[in-house]
Chains A and B, each alone.
Chain A
Amino acid sequence: MKRTYKLLTKSTLVYLVITFLVFLLSAQILQHFLEKYIDDELEFRFNRWERRITHHISEENDLQEILGNDRIQLLSSVPLPGSYPVYVDTLLHNDEMDALEPWRIKKIVVEKEQHFLEVTMKTGMNELVFLRGAVYNTLFPAFILLALIVVLSNRFMSGYLLKPFNKILSYMETYSVGEKLESVKTNTSEFRSMQELFHNMISRIEEDYKNLKEYTENMSHELQTPLSVLRRKIELLLGNEKIMDSEPETIKTLYEEVNHISNLGTSLNLLTKIENKEFLNLQRVKTKNVIENHLAKINEVAELKSLTINSDLSDSHELTIDPILFDILLTNLVKNALKYSDLNTTITLASSRDELVISNYGKSLNVKPELIFERFYTSESSSNSLGLGLSIVKKICELNSISIEYSYEKEQHYFRLRQ
Chain B
Amino acid sequence: MKLLLIEDNIKLQTELTNFLKEEGYLTETANDFRSGIEKIHLYKYDLVIVDIGLPDGSGFDIIRSLKSNNNNCGILIISAKNAIQDKVNGLELGADDYITKPFHIAEFNARIKSILRRKNFDGNQSIGFQELNIDLNSTEVKVGKNILALTKKEYELLLYLLYNKDRILTKESIAEHLWGDHIDSADSFDFIYSHIKNLRRKIITAGGNDYIKSVYGMGYKLTSNGGTAN
Question: Contact at A259–B80, with CB atoms within 8 Å?
Answer: no
Given A228-B103, A278-B83, A304:B190 Cβ within 8 A: yes
Q: Which of A158-166, A229-237, A356-364, A399-407 contacts B (4 or more CB under 8 A)?
A: A229-237
Interface residues of A in 258-274 (CB under 8 A from B): 258-259, 262-263, 266, 269-270, 273
CA distance in complex: A269, B102 (Å): 13
B168 beta carbon closer than 8 Å to chain A: yes
Taking the closest CB of chain A, its distance from the CB of B34, in whole angstroms, is: 20
Q: Say yes or no: B181 contacts A239, CB within 8 Å.
A: no
In the complex, the chain B residue whose C-beta lies closest to that of A230 is B102
* A31, CB-defined interface residue at 8 Å: no
Task: Note all chain A residues with C-beta closer than 8 A to B106.
Answer: 235
Tell yes or no: B24 within 8 A of A by CB: no
Closest residue of chain B to A267 (Cβ to Cβ) is B82
Shortest distance between the CB of A174 and any CB in chain B (Å): 27
What residues of B have a CB within 8 angstroms of the CB of A382 in the complex? 186-187
Complex CA gap A339/B181 in Å reads: 13
- The reply to whether A252 and B104 form a contact with Cβ atoms under 8 Å apart is no
One of B81, B104, B183 near A301 (C-beta < 8 A): B183
Name the B residues within 8 Å of A335 (CB-CB).
182-184
Taking the closest CB of chain B, its distance from the CB of A265, in whole angstroms, is 8
For the residues of A in contact with B, the DSSP-based class is helix
Determine whether the beta carbon of A229 is less than 8 Å from that of B182.
no
**Structural contact, A301 and B80, CB atoms closer than 8 A:** no
Which residues of B70-119 have CB atoms within 8 Å of chain A's CB atoms?
80-85, 100-106
Tell me the residues in window 25-80 of chain B with beta carbons closer than 8 Å to chain A beta carbons: 80
Closest to A232 in B: B15
A262 touches B102 (CB 8 A): yes
Instruction: Tell me the smallest distance from the CB of B83 to a CB of chain A, in Å.
Output: 7
The 0/1 profile, CB within 8 Å of B marked 1, for residues 285-310 of chain A is 00000000010011011001000000
Choose the segment among B124-132, B139-147, B211-219 that binds chain A (4+ C-beta atoms closer than 8 Å). Answer: B211-219
Q: Which residue of B84, B103, B167, B179 is within 8 Å of A239 (Cβ)?
A: B167
By a beta-carbon cutoff of 8 Å, the part of chain A in contact with chain B is 221-222, 224-233, 235, 238-239, 244, 248, 251-252, 255-256, 258-259, 262-263, 266, 269-270, 273, 278-279, 294, 297-298, 300-301, 304, 324, 331, 334-335, 338-339, 382, 384-386
> Which 7 A-B pairs rank lowest in CB-CB distance, beginning with the nearest?
A384-B186, A228-B102, A224-B80, A224-B101, A227-B102, A248-B216, A232-B15
A-B contacts, 10 of them at CB < 8 A, read: A221-B81, A224-B102, A225-B9, A228-B103, A235-B106, A298-B179, A324-B84, A324-B85, A335-B183, A382-B187
